[in-house]
Amino acid sequence: MKILLEMGDITRKHVDVIVNAANKTLLGGGGVDGAIHRAAGPALLACCSALGGCETGEAKLTPGFNLPASYVIHTPGPVYSAAQHAQSVKLLENCYWNSLSLADQAKCRTIAFPSISTGAYHFPVVDAARIALRTLVRFGKERAINLQAATMVLFDPETYRAYQFAMKELWDELK
């Protein structure tokens, strides 16, 4: 599975599935969640309303409706807590791992992620980037059957630079 970084708006991605950094209600919110609901249209909210919410770190699949992507995977990231750092790390790992598993089971070949939990949920971005990329690499090695490419779609230059930094660090380690 290839891993790619780019700057951009995830709602514009022509991939099989995009991931939504949702909240536990799955009833929409601000940030990337709001952008995805606006671009997908009201049918997405109607569909999400029937799902009964989602626990932090778990993932649920819906159609993409008016989005260029066929599906959306909704995963609530952890609200970052420095006092419970290890727990926050585990939950963020679960978001990536469970989203990848669900996408692979749905026979998706391409997936795009936003930077989960680093906006309103305040996860330190370099730590979050390390967790995201390590989990993508591990899934690619251990589990991917259908998935061929995972793209991190980063919305602002600072977040993009943090992921580039974490990617280089990981690359140097694997050399």
Residue 25 tokens read as: 């209600």
Closer by beta carbon to ligand ADP, 107 or else 158: 158
Contacts (CB under 6 A) with ligand ADP, residues 107-136: 114-121
Query: Could you tell me the smallest distance in angstroms from the CB atom of residue 12 to ligand ADP?
Result: 8
Residues between 70 and 89 that touch ligand ADP (CB under 6 A): 77
Q: Which CB atom, from 28 or from 31, has the smaller least distance to ligand ADP? A: 31
Site for ligand ADP in 145-174 (CB under 6 A): 153, 155-156, 159
Q: Which is nearer to ligand ADP, 34 or 42 (CB)?
A: 34
Question: How would you write the chain as a 3-class SS string?
Answer: CEEEEEECCHHHCCCCEEEEEECCCCCCCCHHHHHHHHHHCHHHHHHHHCCCCCCCCCCEEEECCCCCCCEEEEEECCCCCHHHHHHHHHHHHHHHHHHHHHHHHCCCCEEEECCCCCCCCCCCHHHHHHHHHHHHHHHHHHCCCCCCEEEEEECCHHHHHHHHHHHHHHHHHHC
Closest contact distance (angstroms) between CB of 56 and ligand ADP is: 10
- Give, as ranges, the residues between 32 and 61 that touch ligand ADP (CB under 6 A): 32-33, 35
CB 29 → ligand ADP: shortest distance, Å?
7
Sign of the dihedral defined by the CA atoms of residues 27, 75, 117, 32, in that order: negative
Which listed residue (7, 27, 31, 124) binds ligand ADP by CB under 6 A?
Answer: 31
Binding site for ligand ADP (CB under 6 A): 9-11, 21, 31-33, 35, 77, 114-121, 153, 155-156, 159
